[in-house]
Amino acid sequence: MSVTEQHVTAAVQAVAQVQEQAAEELPNLITILEHFFPKSHFVHFLFSWENLVFSFLVLGFITFRAISAARKNEFLPKGLQNRWELVMEGLAEFVTSILGPRGMEHVPFLGTMFLYILLQNWLGLIPLMKSPTSAWSTTIALALITTVYIQWVGIKEHGFFNYLKHLAGNPIGILGVALIPLMLVINLSIEFFAVPLSLSLRLFANVSSEDKLLYKFAELNAMYHWLPFFFQLFANVLVILFSFIQAFVFLLLSTVYISLILPHEHDEDHNAASEKSPSPIHSPST
């Protein structure tokens, strides 16, 4: 077999794997439209970008509900405003418990990311909808946005040159200068490769597995005339719980990564206090 034939065979196998993975998901509205209108360019466009379409659907829902709650700005909150305030207070309390009082400035980003991921995870439970986070293209985009935000926080807190010095391993002496290339490779690999992969692959693997679980139970219901229906309900409860856990883990890891790049204020205060403390008084020798 020639090299070209090997490449063609590998490509065919890769396409088959993708099609097999797609077949293990419940059909959504866009895939149904693609099935009935295969020659429609608009439907084919939606089908090609279905994860982005459902992502924007969740984004629009969050924006609409947040604006609706903000317009009902009452002194004694009730209804939608009360629910939003409870959610935001819980997120703020969690973030500040890790980052301290200064964590409040990171609550808008972290809280929005948590709600966005959570609702994307839950969207697949609605008939004819799909969880965009079941695709790695969605989770890697979310992870890269978070990575950029974390690095921006590091530059803002330390300054650009101190940030570069941090990436270089804070070199001291000739040996530290000689190790700068190695430390740059290690730190850049961790910050811009390991972190987004860790955030994205964990979320993608779990949500895609949940979608496959729902598909298998739906398949069993079709085969055995809805006898396993109660097991399907139990699986839905598990998916709701695990989807929340995955969104929470993404929030937790993002908050921890921010805490690692923030300056350690207690160390700075301790050093400043040591410098300002009066020197010990020595009793005169006799």
pTM for this structure? Answer: 0.80
Task: Indicate whether 8 pLDDT > 50.
Answer: no
Identify whether 123 is part of a domain.
yes
**With bands split at pLDDT 50, 70 and 90, how would you rate the model's confidence at 3?**
very low
Identify whether 83 is part of a domain.
yes
User: Could you read off the pLDDT of 122-160 as tens digits, one per residue?
Assistant: 998 898 899 999 999 999 999 999 999 999 999 998 888
User: Could you read off the pLDDT of 39-93 as tens digits, one per residue?
Assistant: 889 999 998 899 999 999 999 999 988 887 777 666 666 667 777 888 888 999 9
Identify whether 127 is part of a domain.
yes
Supply the pLDDT for residue 264: 66
**With bands split at pLDDT 50, 70 and 90, how would you rate the model's confidence at 104?**
very high
Identify whether 271 is part of a domain.
no
**With bands split at pLDDT 50, 70 and 90, how would you rate the model's confidence at 258?**
very high
Tokens 């055995």 correspond to what residue?
A: 224
Q: What angle do CA 192, 195, 200 make, to 5 degrees?
A: 110
Give me the phi and psi of 185, to 5 degrees please. -65, -45
Supply the pLDDT for residue 160: 87
More confident residue, 94 or 179: 94
Identify whether 272 is part of a domain.
no
Identify whether 162 is part of a domain.
yes
Give residue 211's Cα distance to chain centre: 18
Q: What angle do CA 88, 143, 12 make, to 5 degrees?
A: 135
User: Could you read off the pLDDT of 235-250 as tens digits, one per residue?
Assistant: 889 899 999 999 999 9
Identify whether 18 is part of a domain.
no
Task: Indicate whether 1 pLDDT > 60.
Answer: no
Which residues partner with 128 through β-bridges? Answer: 28
Task: Indicate whether 25 pLDDT > 80.
Answer: no
**Contact indicator for 34, 22 with CB cutoff of 8 Å:** no
Question: Which amino acid is located at 246 in the chain?
Answer: Q
Supply the pLDDT for residue 247: 95
Q: What angle do CA 66, 61, 148 make, to 5 degrees?
A: 80
Supply the pLDDT for residue 222: 77
Q: What angle do CA 248, 249, 250 make, to 5 degrees?
A: 90
Give me the phi and psi of 179, to 5 degrees please. -90, 5
Q: How many CB atoms are closer than 10 A to CB 239?
A: 21
**Contact indicator for 64, 70 with CB cutoff of 8 Å:** no
Instruction: Report the number of distinct structural domains present in the chain.
Output: 1
More confident residue, 139 or 213: 139
> What is the extent of the structural domain holding 214?
27-262
Supply the pLDDT for residue 76: 65
Identify whether 245 is part of a domain.
yes
Supply the pLDDT for residue 73: 67
Question: What letter would DSSP give residue 133?
Answer: G
